[in-house]
A and B are shown apart, each in its own frame.
Chain A
Amino acid sequence: MRIYALAVYLFLYIPIGVIALFSFNAGRHAAQFQGFSVQWYGKALTNPFVVDALQTSLTVALSSAVLATLFGTMAAMALQSVKGRLRLAFDALIYIAVMVPGIVIGIATLIAMVTLFDWLNPILAAVWPLAEGAPQLSLGYGSLIAAHGLFAMALVIIIVRARMAGMDRSLIEASADLGATPWGTFRQVTLPQIFPGILAGFLLAFTFSFDDFIIAFFVAGSQTTLPVYVFSSIRRGVTPEINAIGTMVLAVSLLMLITAQAILQRGRRAG
């Protein structure tokens, strides 16, 4: 039984390990390790396409995670006092957002936005006061942030709500009885208790956006995120540079996940 478990863990981690190992390979050869070197990291981080894609990915991940965390936490708090049909509708939307595959979300966002832009752009051009320079709406940062924000928000709502379910309600009532304003109660009682959930939700939302390929593939427009860049370079062949980028991407997600997990575990123990 133990040996079996060990074998499964090896299966899960050897491929990642191989990528990480060969990212430090001094040579170009894919199967032979020819000495330790960080030259591929240097190559990757000085490649203007990689730097550009990384910048796009970080901007999108940060914006969508911040918006999703803010609006998601607000919604999770409000949903506590909502019952009936509105509650059911929200629950359904959250689960649909999580369950509908990324590819369908990508397609739906693509055609809805392109159709909307085709329709809006002539109107914008007509009402623009100057002869030239009317803004042209197109896919890019906006569509990426909006589409990633959707899944991220559903994620934050689910996590923050789970955290609230374990919260001691009597403290809130006590705070109100003792004359605290709603804002005071929120800041001094509710927020400290749900904060681990909010932070973990933010980290997971960021990780999701940073790693997502399929939605970005459809809605990135003229922008290129890091996963989209990696996908198109893999099509041209396996290189040590991709190993280095891949290892960095994995390291970023691992760091975020371990932090999120540690926060949630500590919160669980404290709560």
Chain B
Amino acid sequence: MQRQGLRTWLFLAPAGAWFLCMLVLPLIVVFVFAFGERGAAGGYVPAFTFENFANLGARWTAFQNTMVLAPVGTLACLLIAYPLAYFLALRASSRWRTLLLILVIVPFWTSILIRSYAWIYLLGGQGIPSLLNALGLGNPRLINTPFAVLIGIVYGYLPLMVFPIYVALERLDKRLLEASSDLGSPPWRSFLQVTLPLSMPGVATGCMLVFILLMGEFLIPAMLGGGKVFFIGNALVDLFLQSRNWPFGAAVAVALVVVMLVTVAAYLRFTRRWAGGRDDVSLM
């Protein structure tokens, strides 16, 4: 028994040390730095001040953009993903279902950089706008607008929304739908009173995942927003890599993590209200 315990410890040690050195300690450092002062040449001078947090307003636009486009993007993903998840779970033939599901998940695991780049290509001057122009529909400016960022968001995060909703719908007891229709409910009523409420845990999981990842987004606004649509992530890159104001950047990062924790807490409260709120999501 003694040997068994020793082996367990030896097996856990490398991963444990890695998590400690690369996750726990760096996050503590960010937290400590957020209360520090900026050195003359950038970097960090130890101090204990709340000034960085009081200054968060200086980056208000970034917070504002994020807090508008992240919920709007989450909602857009939800509206597009739900019918697809419904189709996959309840309408698609079982022969094709696995393949169709894999086709949804695969883009999520490929480079978001290249996928956003594809939209620069499509929305840029020689892409869709020139196509519309040739059709006589005017020559709208698409790239470097909030709309372009929204398209990039939906494109990037749709798979993450489809999957949990699919899982919830797939687990749904089909006999409930039969019962509902046998008792004379029209299909739309069965949907509103049976399918939709029972799929809510999946909807909540999908929304939380997409919302959390969106708040930390940097690439999509940087590539499709052209510096005009500025997220918290873009502010962080600027503060750490350009203006090298580490303590202020750390404070922005702490604020971001706090908003995320609040979201997760709200999600946990929300899902606990549903019976059997356990909802394991795996993306493979």
Q: Are A75 and B26 in contact (CB under 8 A)?
A: no
Please pick, from A82, A109, A200, the residue contacting B22 in the complex, using a CB distance under 8 A: A109
Counting chain A CB atoms within 10 Å of each CB, which of B11, B100, B223 scores highest? B11
Interface residues on A, range: 35 or more
Interfacial residues of chain B within 250-284, with CB under 8 A of chain A in the complex: 250, 253, 256-257, 260, 264, 282, 284
- Map CB proximity to B onto A246-265 as digits: 1 under 8 Å, 0 otherwise: 10011001100110110011
Tell me, rounded to whole Å, the shortest Cβ–Cβ distance linking A114 to chain B: 8
Q: Are B241 and A111 in contact (CB under 8 A)?
A: no
Q: Which of B55-63, B120-128, B181-189 contacts A (4 or more CB under 8 A)?
A: B120-128
A40 at the interface (CB under 8 A from B): no
**Distance in angstroms between the alpha carbons of A243 and B260 in the assembled complex:** 35
Please pick, from A107, A159, A217, the residue contacting B249 in the complex, using a CB distance under 8 A: A107
Q: Are B253 and A104 in contact (CB under 8 A)?
A: yes
Please pick, from B29, B83, B107, B114, the residue contacting A12 in the complex, using a CB distance under 8 A: B107
Q: Are B83 and A104 in contact (CB under 8 A)?
A: no
B242 at the interface (CB under 8 A from A): no
Interfacial residues of chain A within 90-123, with CB under 8 A of chain B in the complex: 90, 93-94, 96-97, 99-105, 107-113, 115
A79 at the interface (CB under 8 A from B): yes
Chain B residues within 8 Å of A238, by CB? 117, 120-121, 124
Knowing A1-B91, A30-B126, A234-B223, the reply to whether A18 touches B118 (Cβ < 8 A) is: yes
Q: Are B111 and A211 in contact (CB under 8 A)?
A: yes
**Distance in angstroms between the alpha carbons of A227 and B112 in the assembled complex:** 10
B230 at the interface (CB under 8 A from A): no
Q: Are A101 and B111 in contact (CB under 8 A)?
A: no
Chain A residues within 8 Å of B130, by CB? 31
- Map CB proximity to B onto A68-98 as digits: 1 under 8 Å, 0 otherwise: 0011101101110110001000100110110
Q: Are A218 and B241 in contact (CB under 8 A)?
A: yes
Chain A residues within 8 Å of B104, by CB? 12
Q: Are B118 and A15 in contact (CB under 8 A)?
A: yes
Knowing A78-B11, A100-B257, A107-B249, the reply to whether A213 touches B121 (Cβ < 8 A) is: no
Chain B residues within 8 Å of A110, by CB? 240
**Distance in angstroms between the alpha carbons of A261 and B282 in the assembled complex:** 13
Knowing A19-B118, A111-B33, the reply to whether A147 touches B240 (Cβ < 8 A) is: no
B14 at the interface (CB under 8 A from A): yes
B54 at the interface (CB under 8 A from A): no
- Measured CB to CB, the nearest residue on chain A to B22 is A150
Q: Are A227 and B30 in contact (CB under 8 A)?
A: no
Counting chain A CB atoms within 10 Å of each CB, which of B92, B121, B249 scores highest? B121
B53 at the interface (CB under 8 A from A): no
- Map CB proximity to B onto A138-176 as digits: 1 under 8 Å, 0 otherwise: 000000001101100100011100100000000000000
Tell me, rounded to whole Å, the shortest Cβ–Cβ distance linking A1 to chain B: 5
**Distance in angstroms between the alpha carbons of A258 and B99 in the assembled complex:** 11
- Map CB proximity to A onto B211-242 as digits: 1 under 8 Å, 0 otherwise: 01101101100010000000001001100110
Count the B residues whose beta carbon is within 8 Å of the partner chain — how many?
A: 79
Please pick, from B22, B86, B158, the residue contacting A146 in the complex, using a CB distance under 8 A: B22
B2 at the interface (CB under 8 A from A): no
Please pick, from A18, A90, A99, A230, the residue contacting B122 in the complex, using a CB distance under 8 A: A18
Knowing A9-B103, A12-B107, the reply to whether A75 touches B257 (Cβ < 8 A) is: no
Chain B residues within 8 Å of A60, by CB? none
Q: Known pairs A70-B14, A107-B30; list 15 more (Cβ under 8 Å).
A: A5-B88, A19-B117, A19-B118, A75-B14, A78-B7, A86-B12, A96-B23, A100-B23, A111-B240, A113-B26, A147-B22, A204-B284, A213-B111, A230-B113, A265-B98
B residues lining the A interface (CB < 8 Å) = 4, 7-9, 11-12, 14-16, 18-19, 21-27, 29-30, 33, 44, 80, 83-84, 86-88, 91-92, 98, 100, 102-104, 106-107, 109-115, 117-122, 124, 126-127, 130, 155, 158-159, 212-213, 215-216, 218-219, 223, 233, 236-237, 240-241, 246, 249-250, 253, 256-257, 260, 264, 282, 284
A residues lining the B interface (CB < 8 Å) = 1-2, 4-5, 8-9, 11-13, 15-16, 18-19, 22, 29-31, 70-72, 74-75, 77-79, 81-82, 86, 90, 93-94, 96-97, 99-105, 107-113, 115, 146-147, 149-150, 153, 157-159, 162, 200, 204, 207-208, 211, 213-214, 217-218, 227, 230-231, 234, 238, 242-243, 246, 249-250, 253-254, 257-258, 260-261, 264-265
User: What would be 10 A-B contacts, judged by CB atoms less than 8 Å apart?
Assistant: A2-B87, A5-B100, A13-B107, A16-B107, A103-B233, A110-B240, A157-B15, A211-B110, A217-B241, A260-B284
Closest 4 CB pairs of A and B: A101-B216, A108-B26, A15-B118, A78-B11
